[in-house]
Structure 1
Amino acid sequence: MSDTIVPDTQARGLVAMLPSAARPFALLARFDRPVGWVLLFWPGPWAVALAGGAVEQWDLILWLMLGSIVMRGAGCVYNDMVDRDLDARVERTRSRPLASGAVSLKAALVWLLALCLAGLVVLVQLSPYAAVVALASLAPVAAYPFMKRITWWPQAWLGLVFSWAALVGWSEVAGMLSLPGLTLYAGCICWVIGYDSIYALQDKEDDALIGIKSSALRMGRHVRMGVAIFYAAALLFWAAAIWQVRPQALALLALLPMAVHLAWQVAALKEDGMDPLYKFRSNQFAGLLMFLGCFVVGTA
């Protein structure tokens, strides 16, 4: 399968233009793979838009973007510090800077602290309530790298983490964590489980060999059905959140483009080769579709 595996670390684009000494640190934070921070970012603007703050608090969306970039980078550094031995045994991840020895553990720790300081700049832009909500994410973030060792569903834990921006965005605009924001968050968790199960298809063989657990392995031949169930659950939760904000049947049509896109992912999914990566990456566009729907509902 080595000819169909895309290495997790590739010096390309702007990262390839960096000085050689800085390049491994950019790769360690996955700056070469923006799809990660984009997916971390989207639930935040969804919440801001659905809560009606997309126009008046447009700058909040930009702060959430910056926070997603630096904190996703910090999360990747921390994850690689914990997983460096496992990463060295998986085809796709063995080129990561810590696993390959390009960056020392001590240097990675310093880089992690620098990224967290950048995240602090974003934190102080939030109201005290939203800042506390944001800080509460640190515990599940810290636990995530260990989940693949103890549960077949690390994707569910990732859903808790990667959906957290919805809680932050909603609490900043609404002033509290009310039911629509929590319902939106629940839908985001299901969405993450779905798309990360697709992503995990790339590592099924290596994960099985070295004892790493994943939802893709747990679902086995039923991955397509499992992803469909989680995507359907996401749409139901999102529909409930929209209804709680605007109880009109017409408002639910805002979900139609997102529903069509997720249905396409499931129907066209091929469980080997490059297709899981392509389908996973398409969720960046899915995020835009959902944002537009939340914007229409929240500002109508």
Structure 2
Amino acid sequence: MTAEIVPDSEHRGIVGALPPVLRDLALLARFDRPIGWWLLFWPGAWGVALAGGAVARWDLILWLLIGSIAMRGAGCVYNDIVDRDLDRQVARTAVRPLASGAVSLKAAWAWLGLLCLVGLVVLFQLHVPAALTALASVTLVAAYPFMKRITWWPQAWLGLVFSWAALVGWAEITGGWGLPGLLLYGGGIAWVIGYDTIYALQDVEDDALVGVRSSARRMGAAVRPGVAGFYAVALLLWGAALWRMRPDPLVLVALVPMAIHLGWQVVTLVPADGANALARFRANRNAGALMFAACLVVGSAL
């Protein structure tokens, strides 16, 4: 049996051309949906840029990208190992390679180990403070798949995980943690809660049937103002991070494109339309680039 290429795959032609075994492994690691590793990568790039290291340490940004691809893939494989029984009960996830039986549990563990080895290579490129910071996220990553069983806010836990690279990038350039880096990280958490709530709108009905909790279900009819609130908190914390680096009202202008983009997401969001929600979620790849530009402008002006 070969895993089905799901409707939200972004590179159906490339994935479809792979031999069956490689296709199943690619789908298991979500290589067909690069939005995930973009969202994991951007906070790390922000940290490097805001600390003023984007130009001199372009190689670090490249390593962070490679690490994001590998570790997002590893996280997806681990998540599917833990959730394989739940996935079989949800229409959108029942065709995943493990849930459908296209990939065996033993093969999934082996694939997870290989992806982690790539992440280890990236870890060796970091100095001790950044490497220790990166390793500190392991517990958060390991616990994430269980959060949807015990809390209505698994998106908050995902925020802790997916924004962690901001601390890694900042620590690699500055040699430690600092208030601007922590504010950048905090804003990233709020941003993740917002966009992952949008993503969870696709599964509200199925999640209710199988008992999976999410911020989208918790917010209910108030999901649009709820997302707007988290995006507002993100902008507030990011503005504070930029201000700590350069206390000048002009630095806040760098956030205007990001604010407009996030506002567009909220205004045009149609909660009952899964395709609309998926498009708004994917738009955060561009949002990440806009935030990187803001950090680059401020960090380069120091």
Q: Tell me which interval the TM-score lies in, with the shorter structure as reference length.
A: over 0.9
Match of 2:243 in 1: 243
Give the 5 Å matches for 1:64-75.
Answer: 64-75=64-75
Contact 1:27–1:96 under 8 Å retained in 2: yes
Please give the secondary structure, in 2, of the residue aligned with 1:56: coil
Match of 1:234 in 2: 234
Match of 2:286 in 1: 285
Amino acid at match of 1:42: W
Please give the secondary structure, in 2, of the residue aligned with 1:21: helix
In structure 2, C-alpha distance between the alignment counterparts of 1:66 and 1:164, rounded to whole Å = 16
Match of 1:110 in 2: 110
In structure 2, C-alpha distance between the alignment counterparts of 1:136 and 1:288, rounded to whole Å = 26
In structure 1, C-alpha distance between the alignment counterparts of 2:7 and 2:104, rounded to whole Å = 20
**Moved beyond 6 Å, runs of 4+:** none
User: How many angstroms does 1:214 deviate by?
Assistant: 0.2
Match of 1:97 in 2: 97
Match of 1:3 in 2: none
Contact 1:9–1:95 under 8 Å retained in 2: no
User: How many angstroms does 1:19 deviate by?
Assistant: 1.2
**Where do 5+ consecutive residues of structure 1 fail to align?**
1-5
Give the 5 Å matches for 1:24-43.
Answer: 24-43=24-43
Counterparts in 2 of 1:10 and 1:172: CA distance versus 1, 3 Å:
closer
User: How many angstroms does 1:13 deviate by?
Assistant: 3.2
Counterparts in 2 of 1:97 and 1:10: CA distance versus 1, 3 Å:
farther
In structure 1, C-alpha distance between the alignment counterparts of 2:54 and 2:17, rounded to whole Å = 35
Match of 1:54 in 2: 54
Match of 2:19 in 1: 19
In structure 2, C-alpha distance between the alignment counterparts of 1:8 and 1:265, rounded to whole Å = 19
In structure 1, C-alpha distance between the alignment counterparts of 2:18 and 2:194, rounded to whole Å = 35
Contact 1:97–1:103 under 8 Å retained in 2: yes
The Cα RMSD (Å) is: 1.1
Contact 2:10–2:34 under 8 Å retained in 1: no
Match of 1:217 in 2: 217
User: How many angstroms does 1:14 deviate by?
Assistant: 2.3
In structure 2, C-alpha distance between the alignment counterparts of 1:291 and 1:148, rounded to whole Å = 30
Amino acid at match of 2:135: L
User: How many angstroms does 1:171 deviate by?
Assistant: 0.3
Please give the secondary structure, in 2, of the residue aligned with 1:198: helix
Please give the secondary structure, in 2, of the residue aligned with 1:30: coil
Contact 1:70–1:115 under 8 Å retained in 2: yes
Counterparts in 2 of 1:150 and 1:45: CA distance versus 1, 3 Å:
same
Contact 1:9–1:96 under 8 Å retained in 2: no
Whether 2:262 is the aligned partner of 1:257: answer: no
User: How many angstroms does 1:10 deviate by?
Assistant: 7.9
In structure 1, C-alpha distance between the alignment counterparts of 2:14 and 2:172, rounded to whole Å = 33
In structure 1, C-alpha distance between the alignment counterparts of 2:124 and 2:42, rounded to whole Å = 21
Please give the secondary structure, in 2, of the residue aligned with 1:176: coil
In structure 1, C-alpha distance between the alignment counterparts of 2:165 and 2:246, rounded to whole Å = 22
Q: TM-score, normalised by structure 1?
A: 0.97
* Number of residue pairs aligned between Structure 1 and Structure 2: 295
Identity between Structure 1 and Structure 2 (%): 69
Match of 2:270 in 1: 270
User: How many angstroms does 1:20 deviate by?
Assistant: 1.4
Q: TM-score, normalised by structure 2?
A: 0.96
In structure 2, C-alpha distance between the alignment counterparts of 1:15 and 1:75, rounded to whole Å = 20
Counterparts in 2 of 1:41 and 1:208: CA distance versus 1, 3 Å:
same
